[in-house]
Structure 1
């Protein structure tokens, strides 16, 4: 039986050896990084050409408040350099929870690898990225700084509006009321008219009834600071079943459509929007993929003698690799 210590080593070995293993499959070559590592040597052979190339590349990063951060980085800069620049711009010190995303040629969201050169990850098009929460803390109270909680709130508000974080009417109203308190402060009758929350967006399909309930709750929060309102927002948001779950389309061994969810708690299996199984990270001995197939090796249960392997079918090789990497990163982080 593989030990917990063995699992950690196995995960590390899997990450280091992934490129070597998958490179052996002919159709995977286009997805690896080896093909572009000859670029610097080619440039060094023709200094005139390299001098004509721009030393920096323009970058646009869409931030969680909807604004854009425009900057430039060196052509061979790694992802960590850009992430540090964005976090510095935002005065964020608790940076480990955040990451940068970009769209690939399939229009799928990918996380920028901090340890690799940006140009080897964004191979075509402009360097347009998004700044997002990558690892959702199961207990947001562990966050030390108000500004970290603020950006987590912004991410969750976006998750709610996009439908990634489903809520009931009651929860929409409660979270919306804390958002209004954080943004506007105390309710003031002489300042706030009958529709003072109509400019806020609390739900994908917002109704007048919801806005009225938000206003009713908001009027009870006199004296609550913006920081306290954000803490209350997070304490309620973390209880939602889809909080911090990163969903991936897949099929099970019988070819039935399912969703695989990656979270702080482990790998979750959904069918028709209902969770049908959960594999906690300590129960998973090994995570692997081959072509479009994704596998997890499960530790034997109390009444089981042998380890078992469960396989899933992803849309393509890139989707399988993307899920594998997200799982490895979450297992390592949490």
Structure 2
């Protein structure tokens, strides 16, 4: 139906996935100018599309859970696991080599099960690519952990441990927006469950908690973040997006994330406006529930756990998205040299948004079991994270 709203399509997808904790997810698409957009649920789907049909959209995590391991249902945890695994592959989730090895080993255990010398010959972990690039040393470490520490863990347990580890990383939940600061230096802005983040060079240069953000606005390509910190210290952070459309998208993402994570209830949501010469003033209102309401609603879920169709590792050209269907879920190794790079280089490959068809998955997994070990010693070495392919929506 041409007048069908975004909410109808979203509910249809969630029904297909048997997903009740759906507020963490959204539908994203890219317009002909390669600008990303979140599908607005209160508006007609067709009217939001600038391209000609058929339309390509991606169902993915929009609001990363503050504590993904605390999600009520295993199906929700599995879908978030797939998203974070995708983030890891595309260089959005950065970590030390020791953490990278542990995360990859959890993925192996979840998707191929216990180590079996009859099925897994020497160098078996090198056949799969968990990151854009990784070294032989890292591959050996992944296999070592998989062989010696994770035996007996069910897919659900390994996924849970993966989520627990990923949630502790500095770039968990980062969905980067390329910008420049007032000096013309490249930067990436992001909104996480815990606040506003600026990544520059090889480090996080700003982290502003949500309760310290007093206002966000944009004018043309310029984005302003107003901050009120301790002792009534007030600052304004200014950044420049590539285009006015990118700046508006950044602003809308900020408004939605702050409302979702900061507010106590959705009745507190207000329409927000921002003066802009190009758009003659933009108004926007977040239309969903907030995190606290979502968690309260999840606690009331009482049903038999739905069957989960998990993917097994196998060769494929792209990493999995969070939809179901008959596709495999890993990517083949393309390079064997070790590369050590910074956060900026890892995120640089995400500057342009290329569109791709969602990858699907199908096979059966086991029921949830208790958590296993998740802690590992850390080192100062960083894993390589330059993406060979552009990230899809």
Q: TM-score, normalised by structure 1?
A: 0.73
What aligned pairs does 1:138-153 form with structure 2 within 5 A after superposition? 138-153=66-81
Specify which structure has the higher proportion of helix.
1
Partner of 2:224: 295
Question: Paired residue for 2:26?
Answer: 99
Change (3 A) 1:170 1:266: same
Partner of residue 179 from structure 2, selected from 220, 225, 250: 250
- With normalisation by structure 2, the TM-score equals 0.62
The CA deviation string for residues 115-148 of structure 1, in whole angstroms up to 9 with x for no partner, is 2111121122231011111111121122111111
Whether the 8 Å CA contact 2:32–2:50 is kept in 1: the answer is no
2:203 — aligned with what? 274
1:241 paired residue number: 170
Does the C-alpha gap of structure 1 residues 225 and 275 become closer, same or farther in structure 2, counting only changes over 3 Å?
A: same
For these two proteins, the number of residue pairs brought into alignment is 259
Correspondent of 1:315 among 242, 245, 249:
242
Cα RMSD over matched residues?
1.8
Structure showing greater Rg = 1
Q: Structure 1 residue 215 and structure 2 residue 143: aligned?
A: yes
Between Structure 1 and Structure 2, the one with more strand by share is 1
Query: Deviation string for 1:155-204 (max 9, x for gaps)?
Result: 11111111122232222211111111111222223333334434432221
**Structure 1 residues 280 and 226, CA, compared in 2 at 3 Å: closer, same or farther?**
same
CA distance in 1, matches of 2:212, 2:107: 38
The residue aligned with 1:286 is: 215
Q: Of 32, 44, 51, which residue of structure 2 is paired with 1:117?
A: 44
CA contact (8 A) 2:35 2:245 kept: no
* Aligned pairs (5 A) from 1:1-334: 74-126=1-53, 127-219=55-147, 220-299=149-228, 301-302=230-231, 304=233, 307-334=234-261
Question: Which is bigger in relative contact order (C-alpha 8 A, separation at least 6)?
Answer: 2
For 1:115 and 1:311, the matched residues in 2 are separated by: 31
- Unaligned 5+ segments in structure 2 are 262-393
C-alpha change, 1:207 and 1:258, in structure 2 (3 Å) is closer
Q: Which moved more, 1:188-197 or 1:90-99?
A: 188-197
Unaligned segments of structure 1, at least 5 residues: 1-73
Shift of 1:237: 1.0
